[in-house]
Amino acid sequence: MALIINDECIACDACREECPTLAIEEGDPIYYIDPDRCTECVGIYDEPACISVCPVDCIVPDKDNVETVAELQFKYKNLEIEE
């Protein structure tokens, strides 16, 4: 599933810098994760990079956007082709 950023976000920019698929965008007042670009770092890292660098633990799974590992891998491969 894609990840979401909750209201505890302090807009520190740490997660955006680490996102390999450029899924994190600056919002007002908190950051936003584009579910069409978020692959939870499947195929890139062992765990989502944004979660590991977030100082306030505000990045959580999006229960409204559940995806399998295979779907996340497929999305990542399609993003690679785009670039």
Confirm if 49 and 19 have CB atoms less than 8 A apart.
Answer: yes
Question: Tens digits of per-residue pLDDT, 45-67?
Answer: 999 999 999 999 999 999 999 99
Enumerate domains of the chain plus CATH numbers. Answer: 3-82 (3.30.70.20)
How high is the pLDDT of residue 80? 86
Question: Tens digits of per-residue pLDDT, 69-79?
Answer: 999 999 999 99
